[in-house]
Amino acid sequence: MTAPAKKGTSWGDEYVIGHYQKSVILPNLLRLVNPQKNEVVLDLGCGPGFFSGEIAKRGTKVLGIDLSKTLIEQAKKNHPGINFRAADAERMEFFADHSIDKIFSVLAIQNMDSLHKVFSECARLLKPSGKLFLILNHPAFRVPKRSAWGWDDGKKMQYRRVDGYLSESKEKISMHPGDKPSEYTVSFHRPLQVYFKNLRNNGFAVTTLEEWESNKASEPGPRAKAENLARKEIPLFLLIEATKI
């Protein structure tokens, strides 16, 4: 099954329309997905529907699913013209075989348990040569509870410390650090080879890989130059485009 999704409507809205989602992910997503009016596109793990709505503005027929019924209800209110369903990404029987042109998933695949089952369903739904776009926190540098920023005072350098990468892991991530500990999401860390092998085993070929950095800048200060350099050198997001073969 997919992991429990983001609980709480207000958190979901804040999550999908934050700074990075609007200024980094959205323009790149539109560039790569390049939605057309005669296409059917599925938003996998759609949350409250922000990205679904932006794709639909291009005249594309958009479908959206999320495990959270609360978020799907919010998505329906936000975008009443889009077909949203509360469903598990591992079981989407209500969609016909080979009925979808493109599937995208923004910061959601890392919250799903079985990659094999999810990718198998995506392969079933996609038309021949259909494309799957996965956007996730970069797994080489953003490992839940096993990576962090550090500062080397001797070199005056900001660096990224990674305490583990090849081992898969599953972590509960608080949605409100320091407050409401009962509200959390589950995040799965997987090295890149796990994504590539699961895609290959389900009939996909990786056709594009991009790494997107933060576009924020530090306030003036003694560490600002080093912090800004680290942001440019250590990517925040990873994009995997896979084509059904």
User: Which tokens go with 119?
Assistant: 């990718």
| The pLDDT value given to residue 182 | 64
| The pLDDT value given to residue 131 | 98
| The pLDDT value given to residue 1 | 43
Distance between CA 64 and CA 52 in Å, rounded?
A: 7
Domain boundaries, the chain: 9-140+189-221+236-244
| The pLDDT value given to residue 184 | 74
| The pLDDT value given to residue 189 | 98
pLDDT less than 70: residues of the chain = 1-17, 175-183
Give the residue from 77, 71, 50, 70 showing the smallest Cα distance to 62. 50
| The pLDDT value given to residue 25 | 98
| The pLDDT value given to residue 63 | 98
**What Rg, from alpha-carbon coordinates, does the chain have?**
18
What's phi and psi for 196, nearest 5 deg? Answer: -65, -45
Domain 9-140+189-221+236-244, CATH among 1.10.287.80, 3.90.1820.10, 3.40.50.150, 3.90.1200.10? 3.40.50.150
